[in-house]
Structure 1
C-alpha cells in the first residue's frame, strides 16, 4: 500500500464513529466464549441471588437500556453536531467532533454491553450462570455511568470555548511539527524564493479528481531527490485545491523519479485537515469568530474567546522559524521545495476578516488591539512591522466607523476581556478634547 493510501486510511479511521462499535462487536464474539470457558474461575463474583426468571428480567432490562442509550446517543449526537456546525462552522465536524475518542469509546461500551447481555440471555435456559449474569450486571452499571458522563461531556464539548480550545491545541501541535526551530533574525532575513534560477527540466501535472492536498511525505521526497540527485519542487501548498491538468511538481536535474512514485508521496482529500496544515487552525477559529459577528447572530462575546486562542497561536507561531520552505540534505544541498505560510500570512489571516466584520463592536475592536499590543511586546523585533501595519489599519477602520470622539476613544482602548477589563493606564486621551462638557 502506498504512503498516500495508508495516510488516507489512517485519517478515515481517526474520524469514523462506527469503527470502535464494530471492534466491540468483534470483542464480544471472543469475550462471551472466554467468559463461559473461565466461569468456574470467576470465584470473586458473589452468587447471583435470583433464579432463572430474575436473571432473565435483569438481562432484558440491560438489553433495553443499552439499546436506548445507543439510539439516543447517535440520534442526539448527530443533531447536536449539525447544530454546532451551523452555529460555529462546519469545519469542526470532521476535524474535532468526529475524532473525539470519549464519544466513540462510550458508544463502544454500549454496543459491547448490549451484545454481551443478549448472548447471556440466549444461553440462559434452566441453569443460572451466576458469574456471567454478574458480569452483565456490572457492564450494565458501567453503561449507566458512561451514559450520564456522556451527557455532561457532550454538553461541555459543544460549547464554543471548548471547541476553539481544542482546535487551538491541535493547531499548536501542527505548528510545532511544521516549524520545529525557534525564530532568529538571521533565519528570518534568509527568507527568499528558494527555487533554482534555471527553468524546471520537467513539470508533472496532476491527473485525477479535483482534491485538496492534505499532507506530504517530506522524508520520502528527500530520499527520492537524493537517489536521483535532483531537486523536487511541490508547486501547490498543503491546503491548496488542485484540479486535473494543473502543475503538481517541478523537477530540476538530469534524472527524475517516476511520476507514480512522486504522486504516491502526496495525500489528497475532499477538504482541509489539521494534520500538516499550519494555517487551518487559524482558519477554523476565524470562521467561528466571524460567524458570531454576523448580523444574524450578533454574538461578539463568543468571538472574544476565539480571539483569545488566536492570540495564543499567533504569538506561538511568531516565535518559530517560518523559513521551512526548503529541505536540504546532510551536505547542505537543496533537494526539496515545499511552500509554507510566512509571517504575513498568519497575521492577515488572524486580523483582516475579524477587523472587517467586527471593528464596529467595542468588544472586538478592544480585544484586537490588546492582541496587537501584546504581540508587539512579546514577539521579536523583526515581527513588528506586520503587527504595526495591522494596528494602523485598525485605527483607520475605527476612525471611519465612530463619529463621536468618546466612542472612538472607548474603541481604541486595549482590553483583554473585550469590554470591562481595561485599566486606567490603558486609556488613551481624546484627540483635541481636554474635557467632556455636560450639555445639560
Structure 2
C-alpha cells in the first residue's frame, strides 16, 4: 500500500467514532471464550460450584439481571452517540467546525467509554443466549456481566461530567493549543542557535539549481488539500535518482487536478511519477500532523466567531489569545526551516515552502485586531501579548511585533473618541480588562497620566 494511503487510513481511523465499538465486538468475543475456559477450569479444579459459586443465583434472577444490564448498556450507547451529535452541532455553531475532526472525534476518553458500553452490551447478550442453552446458570459469566454493568454505570456518569467540561471554551482552546505545541516541537525540533542555518527563505537556484525544472509532475486524481508529505521517502528517492524535488504547493494548500505537484531538477528520467505522488497525502480537510499553522488557524477562527455580532463574547477571544501567545512564543524560539531537506553530503534533495515568522505573527494578530476593533479587552490583551513576546523572544523576532504594536496604536486612535478610553486601551492587560496595570515586563508602557487609586 502506498504511503499516502496508509497515512490517510491512519488519520481516518483516529477520528472515526465507530472504531471503538467494532474493536469492542472483537475483544468481547475473545474475552468471552477465555472466561468460558476459565470457568471450566475452576469447576474442574473444585474452586467453585456452578450452582452456588460467585452469585449463587437461579435462572430467573440471572435472566432478569442480564436483561437489565443489556438495557443499561444499550441506553448508555444511544445516549453517547446522541450527545456526540449535539456536541458536534454546538461546537460547529459556537466555535468552529474545524474542532470536530481534530479534537472532538479524536478524544480517547469518549472512544473508550463508547467501547465499554458496546462491550458490556454484547457480553450480557451472549450470556443471555448461553443461559437459554445450558441447564445450569453460568455463574462466572453472570458475575462478570454484573461487573461490566457497574463499570458502564460509572462510565456513564463520568461521560456526562467529562462532556460538560470538554465543551467549555477554555477546554477546547486549551486542547487545540496543546496539540499545536506538540506539532510545533515536531516540525521545528531545533531551537534558535542550534540549527546550522536559519537564514531567510532561499530561492530554488541558491545551490546551483537551474532556473527551469527538468520535468514537472502533475497531480492526478481528485482535487484535495495537501495533508502531509513522506519527507524521508522523497529525500531518499531524490538521492537515489540524483535529482532534486521542489514541492510546488504548501502543506495545507488546495491542489486541483493536473496542477503542478513537483518540479524535478536533474536526472528526471529515473523518477516514477506515481511512486512520487504516492508520498503525498491528500484529504478533504487540513490536519495538524505536519501543519502547525492549522492549529493557529483553528484558534483564530474560534476568536473570530466569539467576536462576531451574533455571539459577541470577547472574553472567549481573550482565552484564545492566551493560547496564541503560548504557541507564538514557542515558534519564536525555534529555528524555522530554511525550506531545504539535504542528504548526508549537504546536497539539497527536497525544497519546501513553509511559513516564516511574519506569517505566524500576521495569523495571530491581524484578523483578531480587525474584528475586535473597539473592544477594550481585545486591545489590551493583544498589547500585553506583544509586550510579553518582546520581553521573552530574541531581538531578531522583534520587528514584526513592533509593527503589530504600531497597528494597535492606530486602531485605538481610530476607534476611541474619548481620551480616557484611548488611554485605557493602551495599557497592556493579560486578562483583557480587570488585570493589574503595570504587570512584570509591562511597566512603563501605560500612559503617563494613568493613576491608580
TM-score range, shorter chain: over 0.9
CA shift for structure 1 position 192: 2.5
Q: Give 1:155's aligned residue.
A: 164
What are the Cα deviations for residues 3-54 of structure 1, in whole angstroms up to 9, with x where unaligned? 0000011001111100111011112222222222221445589521421111
Distance between the aligned counterparts of 1:326 and 1:2, measured in 2? 24
Q: Give 2:432's aligned residue.
A: 418
Question: TM-score scaled to structure 1, two decimals?
Answer: 0.95
Change (3 A) 1:84 1:190: closer
Distance between the aligned counterparts of 2:280 and 2:404, measured in 1? 35
Distance between the aligned counterparts of 1:299 and 1:312, measured in 2? 21
1:86 pairs with 2:96: no
Aligned with 1:370 (options 361, 378, 384):
384
CA shift for structure 1 position 80: 1.4
What are the Cα deviations for residues 94-132 of structure 1, in whole angstroms up to 9, with x where unaligned? 011101111111111111110111111111144112111
Q: SS where residue 321 of structure 1 aligns?
A: coil
Aligned with 2:198 (options 188, 192, 195):
188
What are the Cα deviations for residues 179-215 of structure 1, in whole angstroms up to 9, with x where unaligned? 1111239833354324435211111121221100000
Q: Give 2:282's aligned residue.
A: 268
- 178-187 vs 27-36, which moves further: 178-187
Change (3 A) 1:427 1:385: closer
Mapping 1:292-311, distance limit 5 Å? 292-311=306-325
Q: SS where residue 292 of structure 2 aligns?
A: coil
Q: SS where residue 189 of structure 1 aligns?
A: coil
Q: Give 1:170's aligned residue.
A: 179
Distance between the aligned counterparts of 2:336 and 2:30, measured in 1? 51
Distance between the aligned counterparts of 2:216 and 2:300, measured in 1? 36
CA shift for structure 1 position 323: 2.6
Q: Give 1:209's aligned residue.
A: 222
1:134 pairs with 2:143: yes
Q: Give 1:335's aligned residue.
A: 349
Q: SS where residue 304 of structure 2 aligns?
A: helix
Asked if 1 retains the 8 angstrom alpha-carbon contact of 2:200 and 2:338, the reply is no
Structure 2 unaligned spans of 5+:
none
Question: TM-score scaled to structure 2, two decimals?
Answer: 0.92
Distance between the aligned counterparts of 1:124 and 1:316, measured in 2? 60
CA shift for structure 1 position 302: 0.7
Q: Give every structure 1 segment of 4 or more consecutive aligned residues whose post-TM-superposition deviation is greater than 6 Å.
A: none
Change (3 A) 1:434 1:294: closer
Q: SS where residue 187 of structure 1 aligns?
A: coil
Aligned residues, how many? 433
Change (3 A) 1:111 1:426: farther
